[in-house]
Structure 1
Amino acid sequence: MDTLLYTIVRFAPFSETGEFANIGIVLIGPGLNYFDFKIQRKKYSRVTGFFGEVHPHIYRSAVRNLFEELNRMRSATTRDSKQLALNFEGKSLTNLILQEITRKKEGVIRFSEVRMVLAKDANAELERLYRYYVDREFATPQYIEQIMEKEVRASLKTLGVADRYTEARLQDGVYQARFPFVELQNGLAHGVIKPISLSQERPESIIEHGNKWSYAVHRLKKVGKIRGSVLFPMRAPEAGDERRYSAYLEACELLRSSGAHVALSTDVSDIKNGLSAH
């Protein structure tokens, strides 16, 4: 295992708020003569959508300049591997470069504190770090929906109705579905709430997820397992992607076709309106 140092590249257009989005990774292996990076250069609608007031050309320009700067540094460190072994007051050239790029600078690009990781393969580790911090690979639909359940639980507490609901699996003997919030009366579901994420990367995945839960409600209502209303607090995709947003609207209609209400998971008043049908 080798010791590697890395920093997370961040896009932070508003110094006043301190908000940022992770857009890349710089990875250095001081003992390996290794310096490389990966920056999000093409698929950036998530970032520019989050900072709606920032024109995309600001992001593109900043990333282009950053890429050129890091590429020059990478070329300098790999042109002559002997340079990397030189020590400057006890610091290798790669460490000096890392120190330079992470020192506080003005502009929309920022760097996290330097972190350490042990890995067998530096290139594979760069990809793993990028997928984790930039692509947020850990944020599966299941993970996101767990976060949404916490948001909805907080809303139910605010509305003073959290004690009415419990987690339950509704089934017809063959098919079953888990619902985190079910209002049971005499063993029957008279009110069901299921937060769902409709923010998947692929438009078809958004539609498939909506269809899955529409089918579940249709089926469980048909056999009498759900007697009351159903509320789907949901999360929409980021702004700026027309195909995903169109898929999201279609998925919402699929959910409504089952007789369910659709609300924003973070909007307490929207959830309250959905609960009024219970």
Structure 2
Amino acid sequence: MKNLVRYSVIRFMPFTETQEFANVGIVIHAPQTGSVLFKLANKRFGRVSQFFDDLDGQLYSNAIEMFHFELKRIQDFAKGMRGKDLAGFMDEVTRQREGFLTFSETAALLTNESFELVLEKLFEQYVGRSFNTKEHRETLLVQNLKKQLDGITRYKFTKSKLNADYVSFELPLVATDRVTTKAIKPLSFYQDKPLKLLDHGEFWISRVKHLLNSNTLDASDFLFAIDRPEYNDKNLKAAFNSIEDEMNSLGVNVYDVHDLRNIEKFARFESENVDNFKLIH
């Protein structure tokens, strides 16, 4: 006989303004049996600090410790509840609230496996693999490029918001020498569907168009750093080629993320070139 299991993913979201989050736990409940189980990532979870590079590590550690005690309290309180009573109680527990740790929407599955095994499988699915996403890949690309560029230009590339007439948005790598502003956007194209790939590329192409049309940036001062796999699927390859053509049509720089020679050349400012300075007697 299969049992109904309802579950929510626990998310760590320290910066509400960006809406970026990392999956750090699972809570499940079985209305028929009254079981409530949960599992959280360790307090020392290195991938969280890698994902949120500007985060105070103690913030996550303290938050996950307090959440563990809160879930234990909820687990104890739910003892004896069954059916609609338990489902209603857990719906209230997992509803959206402000805070560093939040819950996803509740999902459900039917299983004849033990609840402990279900919990382990869900934890592995959502937490163990939660960083294998284009968002995480792009975060790592930004970190790696920033370290590389910090060594070749005295104008630091940092996260910054740019204004384009009636809109403004944030880019991960922006630097200025007060005469020229340069921006770099790494893009990962590891999507598994052509439409997802197109949506991701066109989202950023549209934003860059706003920057160029408002004269916020010159096309020569913007760079797309592209992370692409070798596509085995002809439709994925065609979708990427279409996006790459659109990027090039903007007149901006488009380099492979591993083409460090050209990326470093782009990142240097004219004002850093000693040949541009003449001694005045």
Q: Normalized against structure 1, the TM-score is what?
A: 0.48
Q: Normalized against structure 2, the TM-score is what?
A: 0.48
